[in-house]
Each structure stands twice: as structure tokens, then as C-alpha cells.
Structure 1
Amino acid sequence: MTAETAQREKINGFEGSVAGLPLTDVIQLKGQNRFSGCICVEYRERQGMIFFRDGEIIHAEQEGRSGDLALYEIIRWPGGRFSIQPKVTTTSRTIQQSISYLLLEAHRLMDEEQAGLLSPTGSDEAAMTTVRRRMSPIAERLLQIAGVSYAVLLKRDGTTVEDESFEAEALAGRGVALAGIGNRLGSLFGLGETRSAAVHGKGSQLLLFEAKNHYISIAVKTESPLAQVEADIRTAFAARK
């Protein structure tokens, strides 16, 4: 299914202005609503399509590009119009990452562009791919689990592995603090060092796992059941052993 085909079908949907409501807000809302269908976006002479299935982005197209690079190009457009097409679907699956990961990467690429590290035309795909690969593989896998908003692999001294973003450093700091509290409690009760920990707060949720000589610090969405996310993570870890 291409953008031209979708236009010819003229399927009824909702239209709006990207300038009036940020496209990233629309994407997040459709993720929360477990939307299935397509968001068609137009900016000047450019056209792009973002496909959803059960609230997850599975595919994107933009003038010869497909997958996450097409999505990042669409998100960086400064304006335009979008339409919500719930009946437009696709069998293609070129995107595996979670919406949280995709939006963070899109904003990171835009920051790199503004800093002059990427071509303003968005054509330097090799550079985009290099920037996009600044997360550890285990953190990337965790971001594909429902309910996980961010994850970082860190050394025991709090140094992040591969990911040098602000989000990673902040999450690593929280992870080290939680590990320190757990270790002090473990010493007090004769339980040893922290192997895992879970914190459910009013405004945030955090999980921490030991991984050989490292920790994995994981931020969990406040609306997600912490116990279920922890169980899903343990299942994913067990499946890879």
C-alpha cells in the first residue's frame, strides 16, 4: 500500500494540522488507544505513511524510504497535514522497536541535525544509522517490551554502556542509587548484594536487574502494571538463555 493508493481510495478519516497538534503527540495517542490503521502525512509536495497495529508502529513509507528511517524523516517535517485512516492496513513489517524508542531516536536525530552533525536534507542515511545505534543491544530489546519507556545498561559505578544520552545518564543515576540502597539493606539483613529491585512511585516506576558485572536500569510507564512488565522481562531473558 503506497501513499498514492491511499489517496485514491479516499477512505474517510480524521484530518488535522501538524502545526496545531505535534505529530508525535498524535502518534503517542494512537499508541495508547491501541490504534490499527494508518496516519497519512503531507508536507508541501512530500507524502508519508505510518502504519499501526494494536498500538504499535509496524511500518512507514516516505518517497522510496521505508522502515524507521522513513518514520524519522516524516517526524522531522516542520508542518503539514495528517489524516487518520483506520481502514488502511499493510502486510509489511519493517519496524520492530517500541513507540517510546522510536520517538526518542527521532528527537535525538533532530538534535544532531541542529548541532550540524547530520545533513539537513536527511539524506545521509549512513550517519543516521550511526547515531541511531547508540544503545546497547540489551536495552534495544527491552524497549520492545510493552510498558518499558527506556532502558540502559550500566557499569556498577554508574557509567552507561554505549548510550551517552541525557535520558540514559539520568536513568543510570537512579539505578545506581537504587542498587546502593538495596546493597545497604542486604548487608543489614545478611542478604548480600542486590540482584534485582522494583520501585513503584506515584510519578514513576523503576526496575533494576543485575547482569554479570553490570546493572540494567529500566524505566516503566506509570500506567503499566509493574509486576506484569517485570514478568515479561524475566520471560524475555529466560527465552534467550
Structure 2
Amino acid sequence: MAQETPQKSPTGFAGSVDGLQLADVLQLKGHNRFSGCITVEYGTAQGMIFFRDGEIIHAEQGKATGVTAFNAIICWPGGKFAIQPKVTTTSRTITESLNYLLLEAHRLMDEAQAGIRQPQPEPQQESRRSLPGIAERALAVPGVTYAVVTDSSGVPQQDGTFEAESLARQGMALTRIGNSLGGLFGVGAVKSAAWQGGNYQLLLFEARNNYLCVAVQGSSQLGQVETDLRAALTARKQG
């Protein structure tokens, strides 16, 4: 269980959030190297997420702790939060990075929606024929499992499959993280980004107010796939 330092009065600040906004709060606290606790309430459910020097180290929700508790909290569709910089814990149940936790939580939300929604089956060949040319070229690169072009708001272009929608959402999550970092370091909006995981990897490229989101096999060398992908796209432009 978490150990909290006693408080005579509330500290920090409170507000109302939805799932994406809570991710923004967590990302900001990570950038600020926050130490303390963020408590979240959704209906009668309550959760706690603990930071130490900008990294999430522990979470509690009901009887669950660690990553399981974190995912339960971040997947709530709404709620209220309070930031408590004087509330600490000696527990360490989470070792994953903040960026990994957020991207993995988005993946789980996508999978949960996939279990509810019943997408219309489409033959793979017909689905891919309707893709923009840049996505088709990306799919030809070894290691790439899927690719989708989205507009600036994350809407897939010429691809109405659930797979495209899921990849687009993950790409937008990576974009938001990159833009947050770009704002902090004064380098502007993200132009390209990469996320590397054990079983799943992402590449993202910005082009003319659109984004190319690319899913890469977890067993592939992400750097090599990115190099091959850039070469394929550049060669087409020059041709």
C-alpha cells in the first residue's frame, strides 16, 4: 500500500478531465520532474498515480496496483483529478517509462473498442488498393505491418478500416507527446517521431499538414526500417 504524508489542508490544484486531458496532465508533470501524487475520481471509483522525479513509480485503483491500476485509471472516460505534491509513497510497482505507459494505455483502449465494435470485413487486397500512394509505398518496406495517412486531426484518408483508425489514434498520441516536447524545448511541432516497444513499434512523419503513421513489427530493427522507409519515399519523389 502507498504511504502518504499527512496533510492538514489540500495542496496542489484540482480540475475535471477526460481521458486524453488526463494524459496531457501526466505528460506535463513528467516534463516538470514532478514528485507527488495525482488522485483521480470517476463516479465512486478512485485512483492514485505516484510520481518521483517525473517518472510514474506506483499506481493504485481499488485492489489493483502497478500498471494494471494505471491502465484502469487512464482508460476512464472522465472524472476529476487533484495534484498533491506532498503525498508520497515508498512503493515501486511501475518501472516502465511514462511515454511507454501512455502509448500502451491507448493501445489497450483500442483493443477494448475492437471487442465492442464489429467492423465490416473487407478483402485485404481491396482495402489496400484504396490507400493513398504514400501508404502503399510504406507497406512495401520490409518490417512494416500497416500504414495510414491522416489529416491533422487524425482522421484516416481513403482507408475506413478499423485497423487504420486504431493506428491513426496511436499516431496522434505520439504526435501529441512530440508536440509537448517540442514546445518545452522551443523546436516547434513534431516533424517525425518513433516509439519502440517489445511487440509493437511506431513511426510517424509529417508532410503537408498530413501525417503518415506506420506500424512496425516488434522484431524489426526500427532504425533500419526508418532508413528504408525514408529511402523509398524519397526515391518516389525524385522519380
Q: Amino acid of the residue matched to residue 25 of structure 2? A: V
In structure 1, what is the equivalent of residue 200 of structure 2? 163
Change (3 A) 1:111 1:178: same
Query: Contact 2:19–2:77 at 8 Å: present in 1 too?
Result: no
Distance 1:33 1:15 in 2: 17
More off after superposition, 163-172 vs 93-102 = 163-172
The corresponding residue for 1:50 is 49
In structure 2, do the counterparts of structure 1 residues 167 and 7 end up closer, same or farther at CA, with 3 Å as the change threshold? farther
- The count of aligned residue pairs is 144
TM-score normalised by L of structure 1? 0.51
Query: Which SS does the other structure have where 1:16 is aligned?
Result: strand
* CA deviation after TM superposition for structure 1 residue 55, in Å: 0.3
2:196 aligns with one of 134, 151, 154: 151
RMSD of Structure 2 on Structure 1 (CA)? 3.6
What is the rounded CA distance, in whole Å, between the counterparts of 1:45 and 1:91 in structure 2? 26
Which residue does the alignment assign to 1:17? 16
Distance 1:107 1:152, change over 3 A: closer
Partner of 2:85: 86
Over 3 Å counting, the alpha-carbon distance change for 1:175 and 1:10 in structure 2 is farther
Query: Match for residue 63 of structure 1?
Result: 62
Aligned residue identity for 1:169: V
How many Å apart are 1:163 and its aligned residue?
A: 2.5
Distance 1:22 1:177, change over 3 A: closer
The residue type equivalent to 2:35 in the other structure is S
Residue 11 of structure 1: how far off its partner (Å): 3.1
Q: Secondary structure at the match of 1:115?
A: helix
2: distance between equivalents of 1:89 and 1:101? 22
If the length of structure 2 is used for normalisation, what is the TM-score? 0.51
Per-residue deviation, residues 136-169 of structure 1 (Å, max 9, x unmatched):
xxxxxxxxxxxx962257xxxxxxxx43776642
> Within 2, Cα distance between the matches of 1:149 and 1:7?
41
SS at 2:71 equivalent: helix
User: CA distance change for structure 1 residues 64 and 180 in 2, over 3 Å: closer, same or farther?
Assistant: closer
Question: In the alignment, residue 163 of structure 1 is paired with which amino acid?
Answer: Y
Shift of 1:176: 2.6
For residues 177 and 99 of structure 1, do their structure 2 counterparts lie closer, same or farther at Cα, with a shift above 3 Å needed?
closer
Contact persistence 1:56–1:99 (CA under 8 A): yes
User: Which runs of no fewer than 5 residues in structure 2 stay unpaired?
Assistant: 117-192, 203-212, 232-239
Deviation at 1:13, TM superposition (A): 1.7
Residues 71 and 46 (structure 1), Cα distance of their counterparts in 2 relative to 1, 3 Å cut: same
Instruction: Within 5 Å, give how 1:48-197 maps onto structure 2.
Output: 48-116=47-115, 150-151=195-196, 162-163=199-200, 168-169=215-216, 175-178=224-227
Gaps of 5+ in 1: 118-147, 154-161, 183-241
State the distance in 2 between where 1:180 and 1:20 align.
33
Higher relative contact order (CA 8 A, sep 6+): 2
Q: 2:130: which partner in 1?
A: none
